[in-house]
Amino acid sequence: MVGKANHRGFGHVRRLPSKRWQASYQGPDLGRHKAPRTFVTKVDAEAWLAAERALISEGKWSPAALRRSGDSGSIRLEQYAAGWLRERRLKPRTREGYEHLLRRYLLPAFGHAPLAQITPSHVRQWWVSLNEDTPTINARAYALLKAILNTAVADEELVANPCRIRSASSAHRARDIRPATIQELETIVEALPQNRRAIALLCSWCAMRIGEVLELRRKDLDLARGVVRVERAVARVSGRPVVGPPKSAAGRRAVTIPPHVVPALQQHLDSYVGRGANDLLFPARDGRSHLQPTVFNDAFRKARHAAGRDDLRVHDLRHTGATLAAMTGATLAELQQRLGHSTVVAALRYQHAAQGRDAAIAEALSQLAARK
The catalytic site residues sit at 209, 315, 318, 341, 350
Amino acid at 204: S
Q: Is 371 helix (H, G, I), strand (E, B) or coil?
A: helix
Number of Cβ within a 10 Å radius of residue 138: 18
Q: CA angle, 63 as apex, 148 and 45 as ends, to 5°?
A: 50
CA 47 from centroid of its chain's CA atoms: 38
Q: Alpha helices of 58-209 — where are they, by DSSP H?
A: 64-67, 77-86, 92-101, 107-110, 120-129, 135-154, 182-191, 197-205
DSSP letter, residue 26: E
Number of Cβ within a 10 Å radius of residue 265: 22
What span, in angstroms and rounded, lies between the C-alpha atoms of 100 and 348? 32
CA 111 from centroid of its chain's CA atoms: 23
Q: Is 30 helix (H, G, I), strand (E, B) or coil?
A: coil
Q: What is the per-residue DSSP string for 340-368? A: T-SSSHHHHHHHHHHHTHHHHHHHHHHHH
SS percent in the chain: helix, strand, coil, step 5: 50, 10, 35
| Phi, psi of 243, deg, nearest 5 | -95, 135
